[in-house]
């Protein structure tokens, strides 16, 4: 229930158009600033990024993701293969205490396959993440400009985080 309330609060904040920091919790796993790049109208695929941190004594594993804006969401990584950057699905993304799992362009990401609509800058969409121990958590992914390499994010201690 608390999680639902937080998601609702985040949706409301986004409605006001502020570039506010937003983070979510799934059990002991903090999901910080989910974001995606805007896509071209004809782009078949997109990607979502965030940082997973274990704030408890135990880690967890992200097993899968889903979203209403795409036919399918897969956990991917990038690998160099003969000098060419390629994407490959991974079974899970490990989160261990003291070792955040950063999903970012050029590395781990949630691949959004078969977009049902373009990802438009300034909008957001729900993404449900399923963890091995913590279960499912739905976050709201903030769509940023196509060229942006990192979130337009406040400094972590600027006071924007919810308790």
Residues that bind Cu ion in the complex, under the rule CB under 5 A: 76, 87, 111
Rounded to 10 degrees, what is the CA torsion of 87, 59, 135, 101?
-30
Minimum distance from residue 49 beta carbon to Cu ion (Å):
11
Burial of 161 (0-12, 13-18, 19+ CB in 10 A): middle
9 vs 150, which CB is nearer to Cu ion?
150
Closest contact distance (angstroms) between CB of 53 and Cu ion is: 22
Give whichever of 101 and 111 is closer to Cu ion, judged by the CB atom: 111
Q: Whole-number minimum distance, CB 103 to Cu ion, in Å?
A: 11
Cβ neighbors of 4 (< 8 A, separation 6 or more) are none
Contacts of 73 (CB under 8 A, 6+ apart): 48, 64, 65, 66, 67, 110, 111, 112, 113, 127
CB of 139 to Cu ion, least distance (A): 18
Sign of the torsion angle spanned by Cα atoms 100, 103, 104, 105: positive
């Amino acid at each position: 229930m608390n999680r639902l309330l937080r998601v609702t609060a985040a949706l409301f904040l986004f409605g006001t158009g502020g570039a506010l920091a937003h983070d979510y919790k799934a059990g002991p796993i903090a999901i910080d600033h989910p974001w995606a790049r805007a896509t071209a109208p004809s782009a078949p695929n997109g990607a979502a990024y965030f940082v997973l941190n274990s704030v408890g004594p135990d880690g967890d594993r992200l097993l899968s993701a889903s979203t209403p804006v795409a036919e399918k969401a897969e956990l991917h990584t990038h690998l160099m293969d003969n000098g060419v950057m390629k994407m490959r699905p991974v079974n899970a993304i490990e989160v261990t205490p003291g070792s955040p799992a950063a999903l970012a362009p050029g590395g781990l990401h949630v691949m959004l396959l078969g977009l049902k609509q373009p990802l438009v800058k300034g909008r957001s969409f729900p993404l449900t993440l399923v963890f091995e121990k913590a279960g499912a958590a739905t976050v709201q992914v903030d769509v940023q400009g196509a060229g942006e390499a990192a979130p337009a994010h406040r400094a972590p201690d600027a006071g924007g985080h919810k308790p």
